[in-house]
Structures are given as C-alpha cells and as structure tokens.
Structure 1
C-alpha cells in the first residue's frame, strides 16, 4: 500500500513545503493539497516548490474541478511541472465543492466531468485532443505522463469513474462503505471493457495518531477530526437530493446527515469548526483513523484487503508532525510487503 498526505495550503507556503518534505522523509509517496483558491493559497505554485524541495514524491490536487479552471490550463500546469521535475504529478478531479460554492456556483455535471478528464489526460500525456472545435496540443510537451483520478460518491459518478478514471478517490475510510464503492467502480470498469485492477483505489481520510486509550484523549481526537464528517456531508446531501434515502447507497453514509442544518465554507476543512455538531462520534470513528499505531494498522489492513492501493492522510488537526513521524516509524512499515535478505 502507498501512503499520501493531504495538506491545506495555508500561509506561509513554506510551512506547506516543509510538511511535504517531512512526509517524504517518513516514507510517504504522495503529497496532495486542497484546491480552493478563495479559501487557501494557489496550490500549483506551491507544487513547484514542493517538487524542488523533494526527490520522489508525487504531487496533485485532492481535488480540482472542471468549473473554476480552464481544462487546458490545468493540463498545462501538469505538463510543465512534469517537464521540470520528471513526471511526478497526478490529477485528482471531481465535480467541485468549496472552490465552486464560494463563488455561488454549482458543481459540474457528470458529462462535463467526463469531457474534462479526457481533455486533461490527453494533453497531460503529450497527445493531441479535440476541444472546442479544434485539435489542440502542447507543441513544447513531449514526454509528460499524467494519470487522472476521479473523486466520487454517488452511483453515476462511481460508474463514470470505472469507465474513465485512472484512479478512484474515496474521501472516507469506513471499510463497509469502501467495499460497496470499490465494487461499484470495478464493476463499471469491467462493464466498460477495462481491467478493473487498472483503476487505482485511493482512500483519503483524517489520520490522528496517539495513545487513544484515555477517554479525554480519544474525545480530543474526535473533535479535531469531526470537520471531516461535515465535509463529506456536503457531498452526501447532494446524493440524497438526487437519489433520495432509499437508493442503493449504504445507509451508514446517508443516515447521519438527517440533522444537518447548513454549512459555512469559511470554516471548510478546519478542526473545531462550529457547524459539524450534527456529526456523531460513531461517524468520526468510522470515517477517520484515530488512536494508536496498532489501531491504524488494523484498519488499514482491512482496507488493503478490500483492494485499496493508497491511503492519503488528511492532516487538518493539531498533531501533524507526530502523526507523520509515527506513520513513518510504525504504520507504513507494518503495511509494506515483507522482503527477506535470505531464504
């Protein structure tokens, strides 16, 4: 299993770069960031600094969207970074949430998302593509390689992911829900004539490492990560609006938003925000990874058995450095393939 870290691009940018450098030092293979240009600093500028300060990590947004950025500009960003730093980028993309809604916009429809994935992938891989009535290509790009991973929750978005995504990003770490969604993506890929195993599965969720045994410490961990249930609840609310509460979507994903009263994007993705009280403790525990290194290893082992290829840890809490360190020392080695020197 690969490991990624998901950062917010809060100022100073040097802090984001330093956390990315620490992540590589502790064995993480990917550095992801939010992409919401009103709420945080511009990520593509910071990716260049991260790539310059590291040797191996792959960088990308979790996630960008087709509405607030021109698709050809997105592809140009990636192709340029790849030329500069040697194909160390990945494009995570979804319909759009905070970046769109803070501008009073609406998430893109799935047809637009499908078209954007195609244009970005072709240009990002130094190929020509038909776009807006013309065949376009970057004449300066020859060896760029780019995968496009799609973030999804609802049935039709999962179907699209299986049909066109190089990877699937699931922003929660509940094994039961993960099993259902991974199966939906792989079934869609197979129905589209693809090898289901060609779709990389990435689960992303807050990870907070500590002892976790004392009730007060456990409660603190939950409070630091409760924001995540509110963020996921935005997407779930859209699904319930579209499909109702009696769809095939697991009840564990839809039931908890019944008491949801609204959402303040000024506090989006922030620990201790004031609008996620509706998220019960059970959901925080199910959606996130909390507790001792052993607890993290247990849950990640279960996710790996479901076909998860990467776990990306959100670090929007007050224990960033220690979580990175304990993952590097205790968690990542436990999930690595065991290789013996002699046999």
Structure 2
C-alpha cells in the first residue's frame, strides 16, 4: 500500500511546502492538496515549489473539477510540471464542490466530467485530444512542446452513476472515507464497471482518503479530542451524501450506513469547509467519526489499513486538517508505514 497526505493550501505557502517536505521525509509517496481557489491559495503555483523542494513525491489535487478551470489549462499545468520535474504529477478530479458552490455555481454533470477526463488525460500524456466532439466546433488540439509527459487521472465518486463512470474511464478511484463496509460496496461497484467495460479491474488504483489522528487513544478525554478534531470530515462527506439522497432517495443500492447519518443535516457553511472545530457538524455522530476516520494508536491504524488493503485499497491518503499534523506524520513514518510494508529479509 502507498501512502499520501492531503494538505490545505493555507498561507503561508511555504508552510504547505514544508509539510510536503516532511511527508516525503517520513516515507509518504504522494502529496495531495485541496483545490478551491477562493477558500485557499492557488495549488498549482505551490506544486511547483513542492516539487522543487522534494525528490520523489507525486503531487496533485484532491480534487480539481471541470467547471472552474479550462480543461486544456489543467492539462497544461500538469504537462509543464512534468517537463520541469519529471513525471511526478497526478490529477484527482470530481464534479466539483467547494470550488464551485462558493461562487454560486453548480457541480458539473457526469457527461461533462467524462469529457473533461478524456481531454486532460490525452493532453497530459503528450497526445492529441478532441474538443467538442460531434459538434460544429469540433477540433483536435495538442501541446507541440510536450514530450513524454505521463499523467494518471483518478476520479472521486460516491453515487452509483459516478462509480460506474470511474470504473469505465478512471485510472484510479478516490474514496473519501475509510469505513470498510462502505468501501467494500464502492470498490466492488467500480471494479464491476471496469470489468463490464472490458478493462482489467485490478488495474484501477483505489485510494482511500480520510483524516488520521495518531495518539494513544485509550484515555476517554484524548479520544474525544481526536473525534472533535476530525468531525469536520463527516460534514464534508455529508455534502456529497445529501446530493445522493436527493437524486436516488433512501431506498437505493447505496448503503444505508452512508445515507442514514445525513437525516439531521440542516446546512453547511463553506467558510468553515475542511476546518477542525467548525460549527455545522453537530449531526455527525461519534460513531460516524470513528467509522469514517482513523483514530487512536498506531496499532489501531494498522488494523484498519489492513482491512482496507484486503478490499483492494492501493493507497491511503491522510487528511491532515487537525492540530497534530507533524506528530501524525512522524508516527506513520516510524510505526504505521513500516508495519504495512512487504517484509523483505536480507538472507533466506
């Protein structure tokens, strides 16, 4: 299993760069960031500094979207970074949430998302792409300056149709919660879709992303503090789940473990999006925090990660939006990542 961190691009930007550098030092292979240009600093500018300050980590957004950025500009960002620093970028993409809703926009529909993936992937891999296919505006474009760029596109999804799209066209699947029961259903849906599309299901990478807070976790007060620092995540996930409920109702194939908890959701303040201690997550129970996030001792983290790995997870990405960033990375580097590594002996 690979490991990544997910950072917010809060100022100062060099703090984000330093956290990325620390992540690499502790053995993480991926550095992801939020992409919401009104709420936080512009990530693609910061990616250049992260790549210059590190040696091997792969960087990218978790997640960008087709609505707030021109697709060819997104691809040009990645192809340029790859030319400058080697092929060390990755594109996480979804329909759009905070980046569009803070500007009174709407998430893209799935057809638009699928079209954008095709354009970004082709251009990001130094190939030609067709814009507006089947219309009078159809044209083929290609970066004449790009040679040998390599870019995977991983899709963030929750609902049945989005999971189906991910299986058909995604190089990877981003699941933003760490509940094994829900993950089992979603990973199966993606793999079934991939197989139906004639793809090898095992070739679709599976990234589970969730807050991880490492400590002793035994004392009730400490455990309660961990939950409060990560409760924001249930509110963020609740945005997507509420839309699924509106679209599919409560009697769909979506697991009730995912949909039931949003019944008492009353609203969401994007000014506090992704922030510990926000004021709009009272509907998120302690049980949901424990199920969606990884809390407690290194041993508890390893146990959950092994369960997720058995379901097909190939990467775990740690959201670090809490007050224990450096210590969580250190303990992952010293205790968790080594425990999850394949055992290799010097002699046999």
Whether TM-score is above 0.5 comes out as: yes
**TM bucket normalised to smaller:** over 0.9
Q: Quick one: which of 317, 336, 340 aligns to 1:335?
A: 340
User: 1:96 aligns to what SS in structure 2?
Assistant: coil
User: 1:223 aligns to what SS in structure 2?
Assistant: helix
Offset of residue 26 of structure 1: 0.2
Structure 1 Cα separation of the partners of residues 219 and 298 of structure 2? 15
User: 1:290 aligns to what SS in structure 2?
Assistant: strand
Q: What is the correspondence of 1:229-308 to structure 2 with a 5 Å cutoff?
A: 229-308=234-313
Q: Quick one: which of 312, 315, 326 aligns to 1:310?
A: 315
Structure 2 Cα separation of the partners of residues 262 and 125 of structure 1? 40
Q: What is the aligned partner in structure 1 of residue 172 from structure 2?
A: 167
Q: What is the aligned partner in structure 1 of residue 100 from structure 2?
A: 100
- Between stretches 132-141 and 33-42, larger displacement belongs to 132-141
Q: What is the aligned partner in structure 2 of residue 150 from structure 1?
A: 155
Calculate the TM-score normalised by the size of structure 1: 1.00
Q: What is the correspondence of 1:1-343 to structure 2 with a 5 Å cutoff?
A: 1-132=1-132, 133-343=138-348
Offset of residue 67 of structure 1: 0.1
User: 1:114 aligns to what SS in structure 2?
Assistant: helix
Q: Which runs of 5+ in 1 are unaligned?
A: none
Q: Which runs of 5+ in 2 are unaligned?
A: 133-137
User: 2:89 aligns to what SS in structure 1?
Assistant: coil
Structure 1 Cα separation of the partners of residues 71 and 343 of structure 2? 41
Offset of residue 294 of structure 1: 0.3
Offset of residue 139 of structure 1: 0.2
Offset of residue 276 of structure 1: 0.4
Structure 1 Cα separation of the partners of residues 53 and 181 of structure 2? 38
Q: Deviations over 1:120-175 (max 9, x none)?
A: 00000000011131110000001100000000000000000000000000000000
Structure 2 Cα separation of the partners of residues 339 and 97 of structure 1? 43
Offset of residue 116 of structure 1: 0.3
Structure 2 Cα separation of the partners of residues 297 and 277 of structure 1? 29
Offset of residue 178 of structure 1: 0.3
Q: Deviations over 1:218-269 (max 9, x none)?
A: 0000000000000000000000000000001011100000000000000000
Structure 2 Cα separation of the partners of residues 276 and 265 of structure 1? 12
User: 1:65 aligns to what SS in structure 2?
Assistant: coil
Structure 1 Cα separation of the partners of residues 180 and 347 of structure 2? 35
User: 2:263 aligns to what SS in structure 1?
Assistant: helix
User: 1:259 aligns to what SS in structure 2?
Assistant: coil
Calculate the TM-score normalised by the size of structure 2: 0.98
Two-structure CA RMSD over aligned residues (Å): 0.3
